[in-house]
C-alpha cells in the first residue's frame, strides 16, 4: 500500500469515526471507488483496526482529564464537575456526586451489548457486511431518518451526569448496530442519546467516552492476531502513518464536533447521509452492471 493511500484512508477514518456518517462505510466505498484493492479483505480489516487504534488515541488524549475524574469518582475519590466545562470547580450536591460516581459503572454496562454483538457477528462483520454495498446505503439512509426523528422528539435536557442506567443501556444497544457498515457508531449512539432526552453535547460526549473500551477491545484482539501472523510485507510504514494521521485528524474532529453541536443540530449530517446513501445506491448499480 502506498503511503498516500494510508494518509487518505486515515483522514477518512479520523473524520468519519466521530462525525456521525460511518467511518467503515466510507472506508469501503473510498477503496471501491478509487480501485484500491491491493490488500485482501482480511488485511483491509486489519489496517482499518490500525486506523481505529489511531482514533482511540485521539479520544483518550482529548478526554484524558475526564477519564481520570470519572475513574477517581467511581472508586470513591474526589468528585468534581466534569461534564460542563463552564461549571468546572463549582461544588456539587450529594445527589450530583452520586450520579458522577455511577457514570463509570453505567458505561461498563453500556459496553456489554456491543462486545457481545462483536463476538457473535465477527465473521459477518468481516465478510458479509463489508461486501454488500446496498446494505451500506440502506444503513446510511435509515439512520439518517432516525437521527431526524430523534432531533424532533428529544427534549435535549439531560447533562452527562444525569444519565441513568436505562439511558446507558439503550445507548449501548444502539452501539451494537455499528457493526453494520453505514450505521456509524457515533451516529447510532448520539441518536439513541437524543431519544433519551440528552443534550446534544452530552450525547456526543457519552458517545465518544463509550467508544473507548469497545475500540480498545477490538484493537487489542486484532493486535494479538497481527502479532501472531505479522504485518503484511510492505505495510509497516503505512500502518504507522495511518495510526498517526487518524489520531491527529480524530482529535481535531472531536474538538470541532463538540463545539459545533453546542449551538447547532444534526441537520447537516442527516442531509449528507441521505445524499451519500443515494450516491452509494447509484454506485452499487453501476458496479453490479460492470
Convert the pLDDT of each residue in 42-79 to its tens digit: 667 677 778 888 999 999 999 998 888 888 888 877 76
Residues 6+ away with beta carbon under 8 Å from 173:
113, 192
Give the mean pLDDT per block of 10 residues along the chain (290 residues).
Answer: 89 92 87 77 71 90 88 77 50 65 88 83 60 85 96 91 90 89 91 95 92 81 67 78 94 94 93 94 76
The position carrying cell 485521539 is 58
Which own/partner contact pairs does 145-151 have at CB distance under 8 Å and 24+ positions apart? Answer: 145/270, 145/274, 146/191, 147/20, 147/187, 147/190, 147/191, 147/194, 147/266, 147/269, 147/270, 147/273, 148/266, 148/270, 150/191, 150/192, 150/194, 150/195, 150/266, 151/194, 151/265, 151/266, 151/267, 151/270
Look at residue 232 in the predicted model and tell me its pLDDT: 66
CA distances from 86 to 92, 96, 98 (A): 14, 16, 20
Predicted confidence at residue 86, as pLDDT, reads 39
Q: Are 210 and 111 in contact (CB under 8 A)?
A: yes
Q: Which residues of 120-129 are buried (b: 16+ CB within 10 A; e: fewer)?
A: eeeeebeeeb
Amino acid at each position: 500500500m502506498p503511503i498516500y493511500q494510508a494518509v487518505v484512508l486515515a483522514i477518512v477514518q479520523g473524520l468519519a469515526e466521530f462525525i456521525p456518517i460511518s467511518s467503515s462505510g466510507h472506508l469501503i466505498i473510498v477503496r471501491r471507488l478509487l480501485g484500491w484493492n491491493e490488500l485482501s479483505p482480511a488485511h483491509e480489516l486489519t489496517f482499518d483496526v490500525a486506523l481505529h487504534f489511531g482514533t482511540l488515541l485521539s479520544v483518550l488524549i482529548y478526554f484524558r482529564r475526564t477519564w481520570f475524574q470519572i475513574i477517581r469518582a467511581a472508586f470513591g475519590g474526589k468528585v468534581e464537575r466534569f461534564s460542563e466545562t463552564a461549571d468546572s470547580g463549582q461544588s456539587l450536591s450529594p445527589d450530583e456526586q452520586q450520579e458522577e460516581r455511577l457514570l463509570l459503572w453505567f458505561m461498563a454496562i453500556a459496553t456489554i451489548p456491543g462486545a457481545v454483538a462483536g463476538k457473535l457477528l465477527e465473521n459477518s462483520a468481516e465478510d458479509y457486511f463489508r461486501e454488500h454495498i446496498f446494505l451500506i446505503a440502506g444503513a446510511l439512509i435509515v439512520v439518517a431518518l432516525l437521527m431526524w426523528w430523534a432531533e424532533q422528539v428529544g427534549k435535549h435536557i439531560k447533562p452527562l451526569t444525569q444519565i441513568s442506567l436505562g439511558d446507558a443501556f439503550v445507548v449501548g444497544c444502539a452501539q451494537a448496530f455499528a457493526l453494520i457498515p453505514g450505521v456509524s457508531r457515533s451516529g447510532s449512539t448520539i441518536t439513541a442519546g437524543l431519544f433519551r432526552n440528552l443534550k446534544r453535547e452530552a450525547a456526543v460526549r457519552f458517545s465518544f467516552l463509550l467508544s473507548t473500551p469497545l475500540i480498545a477491545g477490538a484493537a487489542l484482539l486484532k493486535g494479538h492476531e497481527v502479532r501472531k501472523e505479522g504485518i503484511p510485507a510492505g505495510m509497516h510504514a503505512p500502518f504507522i502513518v495511518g495510526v498517526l494521521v487518524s489520531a491527529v485528524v480524530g482529535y481535531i474532529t472531536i474538538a470541532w464536533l463538540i463545539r459545533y453541536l453546542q449551538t447547532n443540530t444534526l441537520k447537516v449530517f442527516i442531509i449528507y447521509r441521505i445524499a451519500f446513501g443515494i450516491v452509494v445506491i447509484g454506485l452499487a448499480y453501476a458496479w453490479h452492471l460492470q
